[in-house]
Amino acid sequence: MSALARQKMALIVHPDLTMLSRYQALLTRAEFSTVVARDIPTALMAITQHYFEVAIISSQLGESGDGWPLAGVFHLVFPKSFVSVIVPGADLLNLQTAINNGVQEIFEEDHAPDAVVSAILTATAIPATPSARNRSRLQ
């Protein structure tokens, strides 16, 4: 009997389409299926439809700071998943807000997307999907 391997999923929520595309391409190369959203309602709908291992959420979606409650909801729904937030500046208030919302990592918005994704992959150390060779056999 073989176990079905489930695809790793990532949620990316950012108002800028260019940034969404960059993060999506980088995570796809890292063998993630991605769901992208530009606003809170779309992100909430995605959260109800999928199980995510990773989230990258901008702290500023429609208004300043409205991404933080979304990050908090994501953390409550997926407590074992990695939540990261993109912020305009990593000040004390942002650090406190990150702690209060269960966010594991914050990244300043001037960080390159490849550096952000690399840091997330290193922090999560999510193993690759096991191949048929690596699965144990019953005898």
Structural domains in the chain? Answer: 8-123 (3.40.50.2300)
pLDDT on residue 89: 84
pTM, full prediction: 0.84
3-state DSSP percent of the chain in helix, strand and coil, to 5: 40, 20, 40
| Inter-helix orientation angle 92-100/67-77, to 10° | 30
Backbone angles phi, psi at 35, to 5 degrees: -120, 130
Q: Which residues of the chain have pLDDT under 50?
A: 1-2, 128-139
pLDDT on residue 137: 41
Token pair in block for residue 44: 């909430």
pLDDT on residue 126: 58
pLDDT on residue 132: 45
pLDDT on residue 1: 45
